[in-house]
Each structure stands twice: as C-alpha cells, then as structure tokens.
Amino acid sequence: MSPTETLFEGQYLRLLRRGRWEYVSRQRITGIVAIAGLTRDDQLVLIEQFRAPLGRRVVELPAGLAGDVPGEEHEPLEAAAQRELLEETGFSAERFERVADLPSSAGLTSETVTLFVATDLRRAGEGGGDGTEDITTHLVPWDDVDPFIAAKVAEGCLVDAKLYVALWMLSRRREGKRP
C-alpha cells in the first residue's frame, strides 16, 4: 500500500492522496453514528434538515459525530448514538443495538457510519439539534413510511441512503430474518 500524503488540511476535513487516489477524511472524531429508532407504538423517528453541500433539505436518520465534543474525545460510539438521538429528536431509548458499519461513500471518503437500532423510545427532551442545526423531527408510523418518503420527495427533499439501508434492515427484522 502506498503512503498517505496530506494535500490540504482544513478545520474539520483533510484531503489525502494514497497512490493516485484522492479522498477526504474527517479530523478530530472517533466515528460517525446513525440511529434507526422506533417508538413503543411502532413509529420511526426521522429528521429533516437543510444540507448546505446539496442545497436541499434531506430526510435522514438521526446521526452525528463521536468524539467531537471537547473533553469527550474518546466517547464510545453507543454513547454518541444516545447523545445524538436525544439532541436531534428529543428521544431516548431503552435499548441500542449496533447492527452495521457502512462506508458513507467508499470512493470519496474514509468515513464509516456505525448504524444502531434503538427501540422503546420515549420523549425525554425537545430535540431540534444543538443550536447550530435546524432540525425537524418526524414521527412516522411504520405502515406510513413509504407514503411519507414519497411525499417528502415530491416536496423536493432528498432522502439519505442510510435511511433506505435501515428500512431494509428493520423490515428483515420484522420478518424474523436478521441480516
């Protein structure tokens, strides 16, 4: 394997080259988490927010960075998932299960997103993000997820690919087939 060369280093990102391959890496984090959360009455907890790189609102799973809070540089991934779920949606969960590690864009970045399934969610706060975010929380009954997504797309929203992965995994679980 070729050595890695730093081409550019910003406050949050680095542009790297290994051989002929250029890619992006995040700085000052230990991981990235996404949470597929279901309430006790079978509602999926989703968020919607404006994403500047896309110039559009995106329907997503609650998600965020681990180890990015000063003093919490070695934050465990499950703790980050719990924190992000509460911060973005106002929900906490009885159970978290780590289900997958997903490359977010294998040709562009070295980041991997750790997907958790959180169950038995209950309201524990307001949500909406950390003050720098404009997050809308959606509680979508499981049987209404497909029409909800179709309506959001018709409004001009994009849908994050991790949401489709989570829906597939949750559907398999409901069928008694664990991926």
Question: What is the per-residue pLDDT across 16-59, written as a single tens digit (0 to 9) for each?
Answer: 999 999 999 999 999 999 999 999 999 999 999 999 999 999 99
State pTM to two decimals. 0.94
End-to-end CA distance of the chain: 32
Q: State the Cα–Cα distance between residues 63 and 170, nearest whole angstrom.
A: 17
The count of domains in the chain is 1
Q: What is the pLDDT of residue 131?
A: 81
Q: Which domain holds residue 137?
A: 31-174
Q: How does pLDDT run across 71-113, given as a tens digit for each residue?
A: 999 999 999 999 999 999 999 999 999 999 999 999 999 999 9
Evaluated on CA atoms 125, 42, 157, 110, the torsion sign reads: positive
Q: Is residue 130 part of a domain?
A: yes
pLDDT reading at 179 higher than 80? no
Q: How does pLDDT run across 109-157, given as a tens digit for each residue?
A: 999 999 999 999 999 998 988 888 889 999 999 999 999 999 999 999 9
Q: Is residue 131 part of a domain?
A: yes
Q: Is residue 91 part of a domain?
A: yes
Q: Is residue 93 part of a domain?
A: yes
Q: Is residue 69 part of a domain?
A: yes
Mean pLDDT, residues 145-170: 97
Q: Is residue 151 part of a domain?
A: yes
**What CATH number does the domain containing 80 carry?**
3.90.79.10
Q: Is residue 25 part of a domain?
A: no
- How far is the CA of 161 from the CAs of 73, 91, 104, in angstroms? 28, 22, 9
pLDDT reading at 178 higher than 80? no
Q: Is residue 127 part of a domain?
A: yes
Q: What is the pLDDT of residue 139?
A: 97
Task: Identify the CA nearest to 64 among candidates 124, 114, 10.
Answer: 114
